[in-house]
Structure 1
């Protein structure tokens, strides 16, 4: 199932979407929790809480997904587990195990990607498609040109360059360097 189909099913109240998410994402969350001083039971609790939050968020009319759905679900689980870990252990941030810190850096990278995708949404449709295909779908310039009906790979490359410059301006206007580099 594609992300949009899953979201549509959730909006319609179809719980088979949750079963699909469980089947395809639970093991990743189990590893996250167990590697960070948790148990399988705690992983199940975190995952169920995350599914509830996801369900509620998607059913809000103003919900917009700016990353892959699995990334969004992972970030919810990560945040829930960090809160639980802090409550459970009463550690300060510097005392949280190294594995959690590594996971946090991964999550922060995902947040930067969300910022980038948010900025990409401010571009025109052609620029959005070109950057999406190139950076996220990793298509070649030739494939992008064919998909978008451009003359050739050089035309796609030239357009990508202009779109990237436009994206850079949007980023500079809406976000500080600190937002992207912390």
Structure 2
């Protein structure tokens, strides 16, 4: 039930992005995700979400690199769709293109901000919060079931985090509620 609800919400917001024609980026788009009918000379390239090709072994490789298991609900998210941009309410999820998703996630975790404030303290970033912070899994809590709480790390106050959501499922549900309230 939770798994299907996560997928349904993600599909809704990806479809919305395409329907309002915001699925364009300057530069190169992976072939599997690009519009084959678009003029190749145009600077802004159209992309489409596609079914994920993420495997369990690729996720295990990422987990090994970061030193922590990822929550099952987040694994459902990773294994559902590939996309370049996914925005729900104040959250912009890490880019998830078909052939470069591991590089993008690794870059967010290890290269975005100094690791001593994040991964070295057990915070795994996976999304931007508005223009001033990152949402992170707090691996210091709920280690038994890996259903970590989500904290907000503000780059202006680098040595503190603020509890934001109970877990990834709660994040998806609450973001959807916030988005629907703001558009009604």
Give TM-score, length-normalised by structure 1.
0.30
Is the strand fraction higher in 1 or 2? 2
Give TM-score, length-normalised by structure 2.
0.30
Is the helix fraction higher in 1 or 2? 1
Greater Cα radius of gyration, structure 1 or 2: 1
